[in-house]
Chain A
């Protein structure tokens, strides 16, 4: 038991190293003066950040990423909440199929999804536009939003809604004064997480973004040109942004659960 416990901890430690070492390396080398990532390190510098962030096309990409992430967050959280509420409130014949369909997108290989999105969005004349990326990212992010809202709704006493009706609230009033306040932490959490999903996403964005590059797509383009520590700088910023969003999302879910 004791030995197994230690082994478990070592395994967990190794796992974290394996996952985070490359990110940590990227972080460290983003402040290293040497052109190539070699040991021993050169001296500390913020030069790569200054250089990277003085590129106008990077700012454009950041603008694209933020706009797309914000729209995706709003849209996918709205759809995700509506889907979760439908599941919570109603029983109907093809519910398992409905739920399976709602949870399907993350199981699709991204290359296939990206290619399909490209083909479809071109038909609609939306490929290469921000709207096109928002549509593609919403498809990817909605299941996450739905999962979070569903978790929250499952913690709700179903009689709360009926209690609101009983006290004189119509359907929409009950939604506004009872369901939405109860789900508020989950909704904010879903907004953060879906924004992070969109902000991080590369493959599908690469297919459909065209000239409206998002940050991850731009990173690839710089990378294709040459190996430059600017990548580390940009990567660190992207990583910190996404992590902040994900941590905020987790914090909101767990803090609430602790209270209830």
Chain B
């Protein structure tokens, strides 16, 4: 295995007595699209800022290309960042924004202008070079920000929730632009987001962070179908989690006994909402849990039903519109939840 482009080794970041990052070990390979995902305050942005040199780790080392970067100031690193706010310079024209990085590197005027124009052209912004930033649409600004970061031809690009300010339809388009760019350039993208759809749509590898620690690293499919921890199962997707001791293939949960194909001892299982079906009568076989209907949520082509078991645990079931109209659920009405026991994912307790 070749040397990774970036290595975080036991990196900790503390603000006063609070840990933003508790202990981070992470390798990022050349040409990889990595997403750091987690809820706000999980340390993902701090991790990115440490990589860019905008924050110093309290302890541990960050290595880029085999060189320890801890004491290298931000402006001497080649780690351009696309900011959540984009941070375009309002007093400069579009092309002056794009060539800023080259100007700081002392590239002469004619050369940097040519390279900046080439990038604007590539981003579909030819003819916009003399505009002011406030004369551009959100999507155009986004592309100016990308051009500004890529004009120096870096080995990696850092992105901090760059799509969070865009309209939904633009987000999908920009996701396409970003993945295509990354493939074409063959450089490393490190993408911070709290959005599961963005991370799963683009990344080769997703790093799930929670409270300053890595919870799981894997490709989107692994993380979605085989969450390692309860945190990941709850954060990713619409999952139901059941826990309890298993004995003889039956798990004793707070909602009643459930057949599980795992060894004896304490366990947790993840039942994805899209594998759950609802019925009024107790199903003849298979696992079954009773819960009262709470509400429904339209999620495009499917509907998510929320139910509450007798002990207060919330369950989610994904149904189609036809199934919902057949069930005619009323709030408070009891239903039976069942699922295919073979499609359950077992986690360590």
Give A contacts to B, CB under 8 Å: 157, 159-160, 162-170, 173-174, 177-178, 181-182, 184, 259-260
Contacts and interface: CB of A to CB of B under 8 A. Distances in A.
Contacts of A163: 81, 83, 87, 89
B101 A260 contact: no
Given A167-B104, A168-B105, A170-B75, A162 B87 contact: yes
B340 interface: no
B100 A164 contact: yes
Given A168-B75, A168-B105, A169-B104, 5 more contacts: A162-B74, A164-B104, A168-B152, A177-B100, A177-B103
Contacts of B83: 159, 162-163
Contact of B89 (A160, A166, A184): A160
Contacts of A166: 52, 54, 74-75, 79-81
A184 B83 CA distance: 24
A162 B54 contact: yes
B104 A168 contact: yes
Nearest to A183: B91
Q: Does more than half of chain A's interface fall in helix, strand or loop, or is it mixed?
A: helix
Interface in B76-110: 76, 79-81, 83-85, 87, 89-92, 100-101, 103-105
11 contacts: A157-B85, A163-B81, A163-B83, A165-B54, A167-B100, A167-B104, A168-B75, A168-B104, A173-B75, A177-B104, A181-B91
Interface of B: 52-54, 73-76, 79-81, 83-85, 87, 89-92, 100-101, 103-105, 134, 148-149, 152
A157 B104 CA distance: 20
Nearest to A165: B74
Q: Which of B74, B101, B148 has the most CB of A within 10 A?
A: B74
Nearest to B79: A166
Contact of A167 (B53, B91, B101): B101
Contacts of B103: 177
Contacts of B148: 167
A154 to B, nearest CB: 15
B92 to A, nearest CB: 8
Nearest to B54: A162
A226 to B, nearest CB: 54
Given A166-B79, A166-B80, A259-B134, A178 B104 contact: no
A170 B74 CA distance: 8
Nearest to B148: A167
Nearest to A167: B101
Given A157-B85, A259-B134, A168 B101 contact: yes
A182 B75 contact: no
